[in-house]
Amino acid sequence: MNYTLRPTATGHDYAAELNPEQYAAVTTDARHALVIAGAGSGKTRTLTYRVARLLECGVAPWRILLLTFTNKAAREMLERVAALAGMGAGQIWGGTFHSVANRILRLHATRLGYQPGFTILDGDDQRALFRALTKQFAGKTAKSERFPKAEVLQGLHSLAINTGRSWQLTLRTDYAQLDKHEEAIGKIFDAYHTRKMESNAMDFDDLLTNLLKLLQEHEDIRADLQGRFLHVLVDEYQDTNILQASIVGLLAGGQQTSLMVVGDDAQSIYSWRGADVDHIFRFSDTYPDAEVFKIETNYRSVPSILEISNAAISNNTRQFAKVLRPARDNGRMKPAVIPAPDNRTEARFIAQRIDELMAAGIAGKDIAVLYRAHFHSMDVQMELTRNHIPYRITSGLRFFEQAHIKDVVAWLRLLSNPRDEVAFRRIVSTFPRVGEATATKLWQAWYSVADAWLTAHPDSACITAPHSEVFAKMTVPAAARPHWGGFLASMDALHPADQVLTPAELVHKVQNFMDAHLRASYENYEERLEDISQLTRSLSDAADLDAFLSQVALLSEDDTQTEVDPDCVTLSTIHQAKGLEWKVVFVIFLGEGLFPHYRVIQSSDPVAVEEELRLFYVALTRAEDQLYLSYPRYNGHSYDSQFCPPSRFLTALPPELYELWNL
- What does the binding site for Mg ion look like in residue numbers (CB under 5 A)? 43-44, 579
Smallest separation (angstroms) from ligand ATP to the CB of 194? 41
Residues 260 and 25: beta-carbon distance below 8 Å: yes
CA distance 33 to 262: 8
Determine which one of 122, 236, 366, 546 is catalytic: 236
Q: Report which DSSP code applies to 583.
A: E
Residue nearest to ligand ATP according to CB distances in the complex? 42
Whether 592 and 389 have beta carbons less than 8 Å apart is answered as no
Establish if 326 lies at the interface with ligand ATP (CB under 6 A).
Answer: no
Minimal CA–CA distance to 573: which of 397, 400, 398, 394? Answer: 394
Kindly name the residue from 21, 235, 264, 581 that is annotated as catalytic: 235
Distance CA 406, CA 412 (A): 10
List the single partner that 264 binds among Mg ion, ligand ATP, none, CB under 5 to 8 Å by kind.
Answer: ligand ATP
Q: Of the candidates 63, 181, 300, 376, which one interacts with ligand ATP according to CB under 6 A?
A: 300
Among the listed residues 21, 22, 43, 205, the single catalytic one is: 43
| Count of residues interacting with ligand ATP (CB under 6 A) | 18
21 or 557, CB closer to ligand ATP? 21
Q: Which does 39 bind (CB under 5 to 8 A by kind): ligand ATP, Mg ion, none?
A: ligand ATP
**By rule CB under 6 A, what string of x and - marks binding of each residue 550-589 to ligand ATP?**
-----------------------------x-x--------
252: closest CA among 243, 241, 260?
260
- Nearer to ligand ATP (CB atom), residue 39 or residue 507: 39
Contact 68, 95 (CB under 8 A): yes
Q: Give the HSE-up count for residue 151: Cα atoms under 13 Å, Cβ half-sphere.
A: 0
Residue 14 interacts with which of Mg ion, ligand ATP, none, CB < 5 to 8 Å by class: none
Q: What is the nearest approach in angstroms of Mg ion to the Cβ of residue 241? A: 19
Q: How far is the CB of 313 from ligand ATP (least distance, A)?
A: 12
Binding pattern to ligand ATP, positions 20-59, x when CB under 6 A?
--x--------------x-xxxxxxx--------------
User: With respect to ligand ATP, which residue has the nearer C-beta, 299 or 634?
Assistant: 299
Complex with ligand ATP: residue 264 or 420, whichever CB lies closer:
264
Least distance in Å: CB of 92 to ligand ATP?
Answer: 18
The pair phi, psi for residue 164, each rounded to 5°, is 65, 30
Binding span for ligand ATP by CB under 6 A among 18-26, 94-102, 276-284, 472-480: 18-26
Q: How far is CA 363 from CA 124, 401, 481, 568, in A?
A: 36, 30, 57, 8
Show Cβ contacts of residue 290 under 8 Å, excluding neighbours closer than 6 positions.
Answer: 30, 32, 33, 34, 283, 284
Binding at 133: pick from Mg ion, ligand ATP, none (beta carbon under 5-8 Å per type): none
Indicate which residue of 46, 96, 134, 267 is catalytic.
Answer: 267
Q: Which does 45 bind (CB under 5 to 8 A by kind): Mg ion, ligand ATP, none?
A: ligand ATP
33 binds, among Mg ion, ligand ATP, none (CB under 5 to 8 A by kind): none
Question: Active site includes 235?
Answer: yes
CB of residue 630 to Mg ion, shortest distance in Å: 26
Measured from the CB atom, is 37 or 101 closer to ligand ATP? Answer: 37
Q: Where are the beta strands (DSSP E) in 426-487?
A: none
Segment interacting with ligand ATP, rule: CB under 6 A, options 16-24, 65-73, 84-92, 216-224: 16-24
Helices 503-513 and 481-494: crossing angle, nearest 10°? 160
Can the peptide bond before residue 596 be classed as cis, meaning omega within 30 degrees of 0? Answer: yes
18 near ligand ATP, judged by CB under 6 A:
yes
Question: 581 or 611, CB closer to ligand ATP?
Answer: 581
Is 267 assigned a catalytic role?
yes
Shortest Cβ distance from residue 263 to Mg ion (Å)?
A: 9
In the complex with ligand ATP, which residue's Cβ is closer, 67 or 171? 67
The 63-102 site mask, x for binding ligand ATP (CB under 6 A), equals: ----------------------------------------
Name the nearest CA neighbour of 379 among 588, 590, 161, 642: 588
Nearest to 241 by CA among 267, 273, 216: 273
End-to-end Cα distance, the chain: 76
- Residue 236 annotated to the active site: yes
**Range 553-578 burial, b when 16+ CB lie within 10 A, else e:** bbbbbbbbeeeeeeebbbbbbbbbbb
Smallest distance, ligand ATP to C-beta of residue 488, A? 52
Interacting residues with ligand ATP between 361 and 390 (CB under 6 A): none
Annotate 251-269 with b (16+ C-beta within 10 A) or e (fewer): bbbbeebbbbbbbbbbbbb
Q: Footprint of ligand ATP on residues 602-631 (CB under 6 A)?
A: 621
For strand 642-643 and strand 623-635, is the pairing parallel, antiparallel, or unpaired?
antiparallel
Nearer to ligand ATP, 36 or 463 (CB): 36
Residue 7 to residues 54, 65, 88, 309: CA-CA distances in angstroms? 10, 20, 14, 42
- Which is nearer to Mg ion, 22 or 134 (by Cβ)? 22
Residue sitting closest to Mg ion (CB): 44
Binding at 40: pick from Mg ion, ligand ATP, none (beta carbon under 5-8 Å per type): ligand ATP
The distance of closest approach from Cβ of residue 356 to Mg ion in the complex, given in angstroms and rounded to an integer, is 30
Closest CA to 262 of 26, 607, 611, 582: 26
Nearer to Mg ion, 43 or 98 (CB): 43
CA dihedral 16, 19, 22, 27 (to 10 degrees): 40
From the list Mg ion, ligand ATP, none, pick the one residue 19 interacts with, judged by a Cβ distance below 5 to 8 Å according to partner type: ligand ATP
Catalytic residue, from 413, 622, 625, 626: name it.
Answer: 622
572 binds, among Mg ion, ligand ATP, none (CB under 5 to 8 A by kind): none
Known active-site residue 44: yes
Is the Cα torsion angle 574, 577, 579, 580 positive or negative in sign? negative
Residues 6+ apart with CB under 8 A from 40: 298, 299, 300, 301, 306, 581, 621
- We find the least distance from the C-beta atom of residue 305 to Mg ion, in angstroms, to be 17
21, 22, 44, 319: which one is catalytic? Answer: 44
Q: What's the 3-state SS for 51-88?
A: HHHHHHCCCCHHHEEEECCCHHHHHHHHHHHHHHHCCC
Q: Cα separation of 246 and 249, whole Å?
A: 5
Quote the least distance from Cβ 283 to ligand ATP, whole Å: 17
> Measured from the CB of residue 44, what is the shortest distance to Mg ion in angstroms?
3
The conformation of residue 502, written as its DSSP 8-state character, comes to: -
Phi, psi of 277 (to 5 degrees): -65, -15
Choose which of 21, 239, 264, 546 interacts with ligand ATP (CB under 6 A).
264
Site residues, ligand ATP (CB under 6 A): 18-19, 22, 37, 39-45, 264, 267, 299-300, 579, 581, 621
Catalytic site positions = 43-44, 235-236, 267, 622
